[in-house]
Amino acid sequence: MTRFVVILLGSFVLWGCQKQTPTRESVASNEHFLSDAARVELHLPAKAELTLGTDSDREKANTLYPKMKNAVDAFLNPKTVEWQIVAARPIGKHILLWIAFPKIADGGVDLIYSVEKKRIVGEFLGGYRG
């Protein structure tokens, strides 16, 4: 019985000492994201509403300032994955960003950047890549 208790206590100690690896969800948790009601009020697309980038959105991606790119980099935190902004659309005080991962087939994420807050405040469905 004593042996069982020692093993059990040792397991709890090891479990408690494990380093927690932050994920994108824990770094930018949902409470920092825009609510569905806020999206409607700000004329931003719903998270599941398909919003394809246009030719002018792709041209706008070339004119983005470095601080915005730094915010995307901080949000994605990719140590080994290359990414690029392929399209951008300003809507009020927000910018829709279509992000592609060129080395990953069909890889990408679509983000909403707040000009006021200088950070990512949501995601949207920007279409399929490939």
Ramachandran region of residue 92, left (φ > 0), alpha (ψ -120 to 50) or beta? Answer: left
What's the rounded mean pLDDT across residues 6-26? 43
Q: Model confidence over 23-55: pLDDT tens digits?
A: 444 334 455 688 888 888 888 988 888 899 999
> In the numeric block, which tokens belong to residue 107?
């890889």
72-113-77 Cα angle (round to 5): 20
Q: Which residue has the higher pLDDT, 128 or 124?
A: 124
Q: Which of 1-10, 64-73, 118-127 has the lowest mean pLDDT?
A: 1-10
- Residue spans per domain, the chain: 32-123
Torsional sign, CA 66, 69, 73, 78 = negative
Q: Model confidence over 62-89: pLDDT tens digits?
A: 888 788 888 898 888 866 678 889 999 9
